[in-house]
Chain A
Amino acid sequence: MPRLGLLLGGVLLAPLAGRAEGDRFPVFRDRREPAGVTFKHRSGRTGDKYLIETMGGGAAVIDYDNDGRLDLFFVNGGGLARNADGTVAIQRSRPEYFNRLYRNNGDGTFAEVAQEAGVTGAEKPYYGMGAATGDYNNDGFTDLYVTHYGGTTLLRNNGDGTFADATDAAGANVSGWSASAGFFDYDRDGDLDLFVTRYLDWSFAQRIACGESFRVYCTPKKYGAAANVLLRNNGDGTFADVSAASGIGAVAGKALGVAFNDYDGDGWTDICVANDSTAQFLFRNRGDGTFAEQALETGLAFNEDGGIYSGMGIDFADYDNDGKPDVLITNLAKELYALYRNDGPTGFTYLTRQSRLATISARLSGWGVRLADFDNDGWKDLFVAQGHVLDNIERIDESLVYRQPPLLARNIGGRFEDVSGRAGDAFSRDAAGRGAAFGDLDNDGDIDAVIGVLDNRPLVLYNNASEGKNNWLTIELVAVRSAPAGAGAVVSIAGPDGAVQRRFASTAGSYLSASDPRIHFGLGTENVVETLEVQWPSGTVQTLRKARANRLLTITEPQE
């Protein structure tokens, strides 16, 4: 398969930053309330400190009605009530515990449509966690998959503004405590398979109390691990559980986040899993329907000292524009966000210190995360939704806080600078941030952010980068032979000096969340992309020349 690097004579490292607008960084505006986003997450928090209470808060941006605008979906937790016999009932039937879907009206406002769309989650007594998006039945409408403690729900988009619960018919239920999930095409057969992370072997009945003079949420070390689940799409609207056959189920972790990319450039989508307090996972796709877990061998399992940390959110993207996808995993304060540079055949190098993330993240606890070009300068910046896992952490460590503002760190040639202080009021507002979904909500050429906040309103942050001088290009992939939205496609662009940026088409990553399937590039001051290459999972390589900046470009996969 020809690669863009080869087409361009292997010139892959020239930075774009020199051509970008100076030191200005975009400001994000929080527009949730004027926009009509009234959702408030409910964890059902009790004095019993059930661990599920502090782990939820997923969000998705999804164009469910195909009007070209991203809508918002929020996953609610649920009420928790102790029954007379000591068991605990999960309450979802009351409106305050509903999931919420907001249709984007295109004028900066949203309309709440969860009930008419049939996505409230009221029918099942599951405790809500996160969401994944993808058109699993290839009917042209994006479907929803919702994870919970208790089971999962596949919501088939009927194409008329409503969804139907297709979980049982499709064989898509995953038992236990599922967290992040993602649609992807691991076998390159043109339909979307589903990877579902599972967190812990946990139940209300375990009743483990933690804390000495006061109760705290127990560390996951107190509970058993759980294996993840891989569901292969049979192509007829049903799934088959291939966890065992594929090797995915052979290792148990404490998974919270999942992201996809092709780390070894063999054309097959690999899977990276963020595990809490156990080794991280990297499942290398062997291309024959099976996976090999390679995190230890490639240097991804631990931090640079071989230490375990609390992996929560994850992104799998080329942060240093060297053409190879890197990995970023968020974790708890004092553990330092883990950044791994992909060095090709010699594996990954832990670069947290060298990238200045050690300094930035020492006291931060991160969940939802994205490496994306928020200022359109050609380098992927870092956005993290934050907040400690323990709601009483201040009583344990006075140097830490439970509620934290989000983090925005600018990527300056591979090193990060914390620019949160000048990125808008939202970055000084404390919140128990959890899930985070990213996409261009107002189609203005920059990446906006939606943060799920535990027991509070979400943050809907509009980026104004496109008002600056930097240019951009957004690409919508229309697959013909490959999986919907070109899931698994690798899109690369080169500027006039040969500098290359690479994107992998996926809605997965972050924490409990699903993002915009469209591909976004910041171009700095360049107004033309000299060469654009799409490597479709079907094997087709499509090359475009002289693509104009500042527009949404739709690329349809060739038939042959």
Chain B
Amino acid sequence: MTRDTQRHPRRFPVFRRFAGAAVALCLSLPAPPAGAQQGGFSPEAIARVKAAVAAREQGRFEEAAAGFEAVLRQAPQLAELHLNLGLVRHEQGRLQQAVESFAKALEIKPDLERVRGLLGFDLLQLGRVREAAGQLEKAYAEESGNEEIAAWLGLAYLRAGEPGKAIPLFHAVLEAKPADADLLYYLGQAHTGVALGFQAELLRLAPDSARAHLAVAEDHRLNGREKEALAEYAIALERDPNLREAREAQAEIYRGQGNHEAAAEAYEAALRLTPQSSALHYGYGDSLLHLGQAPQAIPHLRRALAGEPPVAGAHALLGKALLDVGELAAAERNLRQALALEPDAQAQMRVHYHLARLYRKRADSQAAAAHLAAFRALQEKVLAADRK
């Protein structure tokens, strides 16, 4: 026996469970209503319905659909038959036809259970998000604990541009499925959507304000358009020179680009606004070090470490700076601390290399060789991982 159509693929795992519910619906096809005989619903027709159900179960969808359609010609007002035909079309991925069958079933019998969920889902797949949301709202009202319907309704809201309505629904489902990657993704999208909505409001109400330019800049940055982001940050700072976030973002972008002259200038300005920030002192120290100004970098790197629990990266950077200025004992202390704290093989590799440089400067060839050996071993490991 061969299947005549592939089952329609679905991507959202919640939906897989939803489909299971649909199969159960199909199996519990009710007996023909009283009076069906008079309406032309004969025992042959019942047998045909059973054959169609069996064909659907076995994946012979065309045969199943033909069976349901034949019986529907005799009993066009039987909602369950429309539902079953809709299920077959749904399985076939013929969503437009499925929607028509589900809608007909509901038109005949508005209280037919679980059909609205299916109708809403298929409308959503067809991109008819408003109609989908309407059907799914009703379905969710009928079955408020149904997490599949909640998830799909959330998605319908999200796609309909109403992320705020989606968030509580996704949260509700997430309580039961806290590790569901799809849900987490869509919840993130929903929150982003809400944030963008407020930003749109900001741009509408105060389009040339510092905050509006900051919002635009952040959007550019988020999307990797650093040049445009920097231009917007600059405008934001023209409007409000004390806009801390803009100063910090400028500094980070410049540092990431390797433009340490500009980064140092931006960090300096940012530190005037937030002098206690360890992150800013770290960034400033890093940029100064890149500019070959180790003596100036050292106090900032020390402040970065003072304000935070020990951070391997800051110790490593401070060790490197101290090595530059020839303070070998202090450099050694910091590099060793970095090594003790650092879990990452690549970073450990760098620290070993700095320690080898340090011992070479001290003409301690044995210690230098030991750290070079550790460096090479880690380098091999990292390169092997890269090759994989």
Interfacial residues, chain A to chain B (CB-CB below 8 A)? 296-297, 299, 302, 304-307, 334, 343, 345-347, 349, 353-356, 358-359, 362-363, 398-399, 415
> For B261, what are the chain A residues with a Cβ–Cβ distance below 8 Å?
359
Of B260, B354, B372, which contacts A296 at CB under 8 A?
Answer: B372
Whole-angstrom CA separation of A305 from B353 in the bound complex: 6
Query: Which single member of A306, A343, A349, A358 contacts B379 (CB below 8 Å)?
Result: A306
In the complex with contacts A305-B350, A306-B349, A346-B361, A358-B291 CB distance below 8 A: yes
* Complex contacts, A358 vs chain B, CB 8 Å: 258, 260, 290-292
**Separation of A341 and B334 alpha carbons in the complex (Å):** 24
Chain B residues with Cβ below 8 Å from A299 are 357, 360
Least CB separation from A362: chain B residue: B258
Is B266's CB within 8 Å of the partner chain A?
A: no
Q: DSSP class of A's interface residues: helix, strand, loop or mixed?
A: loop
- How far apart sit A354 and B296, CA to CA, in the bound complex (Å)? 12
B360 to A346, Cβ gap below 8 A?
yes
How large, as a class, is the contact surface on chain B?
A: 20 to 34
Top 5 nearest A-B pairs (CB, nearest first) are: A306-B353, A354-B292, A362-B258, A353-B292, A305-B350
Q: How many A-B residue pairs have CB under 8 A?
A: 61
A304 neighbours in B (Cβ, 8 Å): 320, 353-354, 357
Q: How far is the CA of A363 from the CA of B262 in the complex (A)?
A: 14
Report which B residues bind A (CB closer than 8 A). 226-227, 257-261, 289-292, 294, 320, 324, 349-350, 352-354, 357, 360-361, 363, 368-369, 372, 375-376, 379
Chain B residue contacts of A343, Cβ below 8 A: 361
Beyond A296-B376, A307-B350, A359-B261, 12 additional pairs, beta carbon < 8 A: A296-B372, A297-B368, A297-B369, A304-B320, A305-B353, A306-B353, A306-B379, A346-B363, A353-B289, A353-B292, A354-B292, A359-B260
Closest to A343 in B: B361
How far is it, in angstroms, between the C-alpha of A296 and the C-alpha of B356 when the chains are bound? 10
B294 partner residues in chain A, CB cutoff 8 A: 354
Task: Give A140 to B158 CA distance when docked, in angstroms.
Answer: 83
Q: Known contacts A306-B379, A334-B258, A363-B258; decide if A354 and B360 are in contact (CB<8 Å).
A: no
Tell me, in angstroms, the Cα distance from A362 to B290 when the chains sit together.
11
Give A153 to B70 CA distance when docked, in angstroms: 86
Contacts of B369 in A (CB 8 A): 297
A362 and B357 within 8 A (CB): no
Closest CB in chain A relative to B288 CB, distance in Å: 10
Partner of A399, one of B257, B290, B360, B379: B257
18 A–B contacts from the bound complex (CB under 8 Å) = A297-B368, A304-B320, A304-B354, A305-B350, A305-B353, A306-B349, A306-B379, A307-B350, A343-B361, A349-B357, A349-B361, A353-B291, A353-B292, A354-B294, A359-B260, A359-B261, A399-B226, A415-B292
| Chain A hits for B360, CB < 8 A | 299, 346-347
Contact B375 A306 (CB under 8 A): yes
Using CB atoms, name the residue of chain A closest to B289. Answer: A353
Task: Report how far A296 CA is from B368 CA in the complex, Å.
Answer: 10
A354 touches B324 (CB 8 A): yes
Interchain CB contact under 8 A, B352 and A359: no
Closest-CB distance, A397 to chain B (whole angstroms): 10
Residues of B within 8 A of A349 (CB): 357, 361
Q: Kindly provide the distance from the CB of A282 to the nearest chain B CB, expressed in whole angstroms.
A: 14
Determine whether the beta carbon of A306 is less than 8 Å from that of B350: yes
Contact of A362 among B227, B259, B289, B376 (CB under 8 A): B259
Q: By the criterion CB–CB under 8 Å, are B372 and A398 in contact? A: no
Q: Is the CB of B350 within 8 A of A398?
A: no
List the A side residues contacting B226 at CB < 8 Å: 399
User: In the complex, which residue of chain A has the Cβ closest to the Cβ of B387?
Assistant: A221
**A185–B253 CA distance with the chains assembled, in angstroms:** 50
Nearest chain B CB to A344 CB, angstrom units: 10
